[in-house]
Structures are given as structure tokens and as C-alpha cells.
Amino acid sequence: MRLGRVFLGLCLALLLVGVGIFFSKHGLWELRSLRGHVEAGRVICAQLEEENRLLRRQLDLLSKPSPTLLDRVMRDHFGFVRGDELVFFESLPRNGKTF
């Protein structure tokens, strides 16, 4: 009879330890939740790494501009022309109205 009570007490103690391990603040339930947070962090990290890669590529392109890019910027932004090109200026009528 005494062996049965010891066995029952041992089973009860193991059950309590198991419940404690599973549901405690630092238990398996919390571990499962934290794994989800870690995975979300990995996804965000991967997105940021891709964005950094694209920004580094843009920075490399801007730090070593090609002659074609410089020519395009000078023409579009500053209105420069080449020496062998003709430039036509349109004048407005004196009253400032067009057509």
C-alpha cells in the first residue's frame, strides 16, 4: 500500500513539473511564441538586406557616373548643348499671349 502512495505522489510531482515546464513564463509555450517572433524578425531582416543591396548599387552608380549619364544630366537639368548642335529660341509676341 505504501508503494502505491509513493508511486502516486511521484506521478503527481512529475505531472506538476510537466505542467510547470509547459505553462511557466519561460516554458515551452513561451518558447513557441518566441520562435514566431524570431521568424518575423528574420523576414524583416531579409527585406532590409535587399533594400540595402539596392541602395548600395545606386550609390555605386552615382559615385562612378558614366559619360552618358553626365551628358544626360547636363542636358536635362542644366540645359547644356553640344558644340555641333543648333539651338532654336522661340520668342513670344509682345502681348505675352501664344496663338
pLDDT category of residue 63 using cuts at 50, 70 and 90: confident
Provide the pLDDT for residue 73.
80
What pTM, to 2 d.p., does this model score? 0.42
The Cα–Cα gap between 81 and 71 comes to 9
pLDDT at site 1: 67
Mean local confidence (pLDDT), 68-72: 82
Assess contact for 28 and 21: CB atoms under 8 A: yes
Cα–Cα distance, 17 to 13 (Å, whole number): 6
pLDDT in tens, 19-56: 776 667 777 777 778 888 899 999 999 999 999 999 99
Mean pLDDT across the chain? 81
C-alpha cell at 74: 547636363
